[in-house]
């Protein structure tokens, strides 16, 4: 087996274990067992436990960013782009629930664990939303009085919380379509400059 494969195997195992147990309750031996390697092997590929978490985060988010950008490049209309982002995010989270957990739960712990870490990938990801909004404002599809940096948080937070529920099984489970549709309705109709309503 190549080094790349083992690295990937550990990442996958860690994603699963962190999601199931949370970072602190996850033992290195859990990850090792899940990845079918020895405990020590993990330290050939990662510096320490937190390094695994950050790697999981960076790599998985990185893959989503790449894929999302490709989808967005095929579309010009910012209104459609926003829809695509929302659908893509929810789809990705529904598909990889382990990842969803890691992003949601561990994202909030990271700050406490490594002060210097800046979540560059995460910022890159949510800035996609800001870019879409800015483009929409330039093309006068979106209201000028919306602040892109606040709106990106609002939208990401909404998506994040909705997909969180998918993992807790405490409530009615909505399909990706349902959820996307609802969230798009809430946001797009709001963010969109309503031409008709402004006319007399």
Partner DNA sequence: CATGAATGAGGATTCATTCAT
Partner DNA sequence: CATGAATGAATCCTCATTCAT
The 105-144 site mask, x for binding a copy of itself (CB under 8 A), equals: x--xx-xxx----x------------------------x-
Q: Does 179 bind a copy of itself (CB under 8 A)?
A: yes
Which residue is it, tokens 């483009």?
Answer: 135
Q: Are 93 and 176 in contact (CB under 8 A)?
A: no
DSSP symbol at 119: -
Report, in Å, the least distance between residue 11 CB and DNA. Answer: 14
Residues within window 14-43 making contact with a copy of itself, judged by CB under 8 A: 20-25
Candidates 3-11, 33-41, 76-84, 151-159: pick the segment binding a copy of itself (CB under 8 A).
Answer: 151-159
- Pair of tokens at residue 1: 């087996």
- Using the minimum distance from each CB to DNA, give the nearer residue, 40 or 200: 40
SS (H, E, C) 13-57: HHHHHHHHHCCCCCCHHHHHHHHCCCHHHHHHHCCCHHHHHHHHH
What is d(CA 77, CA 101) in angstroms, rounded to the nearest whole number? 31
Report what 193 binds from DNA, a copy of itself, none; CB cut-off 5-8 Å by kind: none
Candidates 29-37, 57-65, 90-98, 101-109: pick the segment binding a copy of itself (CB under 8 A).
Answer: 101-109
Report, in Å, the least distance between residue 8 CB and a copy of itself. Answer: 25
For the beta carbon of residue 70, count every other beta carbon within 10 angstroms.
Answer: 9
The 20-49 site mask, x for binding DNA (CB under 7 A), equals: -----xxxxx-------xxxxx-xx---xx
Q: Are 158 and 187 in contact (CB under 8 A)?
A: yes
Report, in Å, the least distance between residue 8 CB and DNA. Answer: 12
Cite the DSSP H helix spans in the chain.
3-21, 28-35, 39-45, 49-73, 78-95, 97-101, 107-113, 120-138, 148-168, 176-191, 195-198
Report what 157 binds from a copy of itself, DNA, none; CB cut-off 5-8 Å by kind: a copy of itself
Residues that bind DNA (CB under 7 A): 1, 3, 6, 25-29, 37-41, 43-44, 48-49
């Amino acid at each position: 087996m190549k080094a790349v494969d083992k690295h990937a195997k550990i990442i996958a195992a860690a994603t699963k274990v962190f999601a199931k147990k949370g970072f602190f309750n996850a033992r290195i031996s859990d990850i090792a067992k899940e990845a079918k390697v020895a405990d020590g092997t993990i330290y050939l590929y990662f510096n320490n436990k937190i390094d695994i978490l950050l790697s999981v985060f960076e790599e998985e988010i990185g893959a989503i960013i790449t894929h999302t950008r490709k989808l967005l490049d095929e579309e010009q209309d910012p209104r459609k782009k926003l829809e695509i982002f929302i659908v893509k995010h929810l789809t990705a989270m529904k598909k990889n629930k382990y990842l969803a957990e890691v992003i949601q739960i561990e994202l909030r712990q990271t700050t406490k664990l490594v002060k210097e870490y800046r979540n560059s990938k995460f910022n890159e990801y949510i800035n996609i939303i800001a870019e879409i909004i800015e483009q929409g404002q330039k093309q006068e599809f979106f209201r000028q009085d919306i602040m892109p940096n606040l709106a990106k948080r609002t939208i990401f937070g909404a998506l994040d919380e909705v997909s969180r529920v998918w993992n807790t099984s405490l409530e009615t489970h909505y399909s990706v379509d349902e959820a996307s549709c609802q969230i798009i309705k809430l946001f797009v109709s709001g963010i969109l400059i309503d031409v008709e309503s402004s006319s007399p």
